[in-house]
Amino acid sequence: MPIQQSTLVILGSGKYAILDKNSLVQRNGIGLVASPIESEHRLYLDSITVNHIRLMLAQLIKFLVRKMTIFPVESVVVFTSSSFIILLASETWNPLAEIVHIPEPEPPVVKHRPPERLVQYDIDDALIEYDIPQYHIQHLIERANSRISEVQAHNVAIQTGVLYQEIEEALSEGQMIRLGLLLCILGHTAIQAQQMHTAEVYLQESMSVFQSENYEPGIAYVNLQFGYLYARNRVIAMTAGRAYDDLQVGRWYLVHNKPDIALGFILNSIERNNSINRFASVASAYYSLIELYSDEDMIDEARTSLIESLRMFASSGRVRQANDILENYAGSLIDTEEMEELQNDLNRRNTIFELQLKQVERARDYQRLYLYYRTQSETSRAWKFRSLANNYLKQVPERVMFYRQPGVLSLLYESNQDADFAREYLMRAHLQLARLEMPELSNMVIRMIRSVP
């Protein structure tokens, strides 16, 4: 309620607050809240003593007794309400909390950061529980006597090469359970590298081995990895969608002359697209940063963003688009003397990209031969072609592996089915692990099901 003049508010314990017309008093579930109240207004009610209050109560009773015969109902109402007020003042009964809340000011807005209501947090937090199966995969590696833990390399092809050697040993010795475990590990490694189609092939082969051997723990592990695969697909799609939204919102703020807010969204888009290997989208976001930095007269940052955008476009097979951008900024951010050198660099990067793309295609041919001989039950010969395919992929960077990706809307639409598949496979794993009397792992799978976005 607005206060028109200075008001005395009883707070309890003999305390009161004096509020002026600029203050506001409201009732909440605890008591009275006054804002703002300066410290010098918090005074003790020394002038009102308990004796004075008792005297006032006695005089009121005498007055009401005289009027009781004339106005009995009105006297009871007046006595009850007056007693309530006096008891409050004397603290004989006090429901009000001795609290005066002074609201703190809002925190300052950090420069180059979107408003909190518009910030979209990373969906990868939903996969925290999925780090748990990695321990069990490591356990499988130890059981299969794999040397994968000895390999310290970021290239997945080198890691899988070590596993291929183990698979050849398992095939030569007829250790089918070991073969199934190694295939499951290969599937998990491919998921971590975001090679989802390859991971699906490995897991299907592992499931086939375990089903033929009637090895139920292995079947449960493969179902667990299938659930992880489809859940990861869902997370990747949602991350791509949010990265796309960030870029569009950032461009909107850029058009409306709000570069400080736009920068935060564009940088978020770059980070998210990098995390899921959408390099063409990263190059497009860097291109938007050129305009932002140029408008703010940040020439060095604009030039850096331009060169990064050019290199990423050229390294992703879009050299024509890179050359068009280069011509647009010739003479401004790029000196005329640098044009020839930059064009040669872009052409060189595109040539390397085309050669690496041929390696990928050759590897796919070997993979097709591998699948053919697998269907012909010539397992040993099939795995030789799989090893050849892996050798061709050892020197291929990720931007070549992921140069052709579906659009965001298509990715999001397909991910709805991925979420259903993830829950289905994880529920199968949960039931199988419960039947195998593995409660700890079974409960972990339940947490994974709940965290599928």
| Mean pLDDT of the region 110-124 | 38
Q: Read off the pLDDT band of 150 (50, 70, 90).
A: very low
Q: Read off the pLDDT band of 152 (50, 70, 90).
A: very low
In terms of pLDDT, which residue wins out, 145 or 340?
340
State yes or no: pLDDT of 387 exceeds 60.
yes
Bridge partners of 32, per DSSP, are 27
The first and second tokens of residue 7, run together, are 């008001």
Report the alpha-carbon distance of residue 9 to residue 32 in Å, rounded: 8
Q: What digits encode the pLDDT tens for the residues 255-291?
A: 888 888 888 899 999 988 888 878 788 888 898 898 8
The first and second tokens of residue 127, run together, are 């996969």
Q: Cβ(196)–Cβ(190) under 8 Å? A: yes
Q: Residue 226: what pLDDT?
A: 93
Q: Residue 449: what pLDDT?
A: 87
* Residue 216: alpha-carbon gap to chain centroid: 34
| Mean pLDDT of the region 429-446 | 87
Percentage of the chain beyond pLDDT 90 is: 5
Q: What element of type H or E holds 34?
A: strand 32-35
What stretches of 72-132 adopt beta strand conformation (E)? none
Residue 223 exposure: Cα atoms within 13 Å on the Cβ side: 23
* Residue 257: alpha-carbon gap to chain centroid: 29
Q: How far is CA 170 from CA 153, 185, 250, in A?
A: 24, 14, 54
Report the alpha-carbon distance of residue 69 to residue 326 in Å, rounded: 102
* SS3 (DSSP) at 183: helix
Residues 6+ apart with CB under 8 A from 444: 129, 132, 133
Q: What digits encode the pLDDT tens for the residues 65-74?
A: 676 666 666 6
Q: Read off the pLDDT band of 176 (50, 70, 90).
A: confident
Q: Cβ(327)–Cβ(363) under 8 Å? A: no
State yes or no: pLDDT of 240 exceeds 60.
yes
Place of tokens 């009000």: 96
Give the helix ranges, DSSP H, for 376-407. 379-393, 398-401
State yes or no: pLDDT of 99 exceeds 60.
no
Report the alpha-carbon distance of residue 311 to residue 44 in Å, rounded: 73
Q: What is the pTM of this model?
A: 0.58
| Mean pLDDT of the region 446-451 | 86
* Residue 410: alpha-carbon gap to chain centroid: 20
Report the alpha-carbon distance of residue 371 to residue 363 in Å, rounded: 12
Place of tokens 């995969």: 137
Parse the chain into domains and list their residue ranges.
Answer: 7-90, 116-451
Residue 162 exposure: Cα atoms within 13 Å on the Cβ side: 17
Polymer length of the chain: 453
Bridge partners of 7, per DSSP, are 19
Q: Residue 7: what pLDDT?
A: 41
Q: Residue 396: what pLDDT?
A: 59
Q: What burial letters (b/e) apply to 323-360, b meaning 16+ CB within 10 Å?
A: bebbeeeeeebbeeeeeeebbebbeebbeebeebbebe
* Residue 141: alpha-carbon gap to chain centroid: 29
Mean pLDDT over the full length of the chain: 71
Using CB atoms within 10 A of its CB, is residue 398 exposed (0-12), middle (13-18) or buried (19+)? middle
| Mean pLDDT of the region 79-84 | 66
Q: DSSP state, 437? A: T
| Mean pLDDT of the region 106-115 | 40
* Angle formed at CA 297 by CA 296 and CA 303, multiple of 5 degrees: 105
Bridge partners of 43, per DSSP, are 16
Q: DSSP state, 6? A: -
Q: How far is CA 281 from CA 59, 286, 302, in A?
A: 84, 9, 18
State yes or no: pLDDT of 300 exceeds 80.
yes
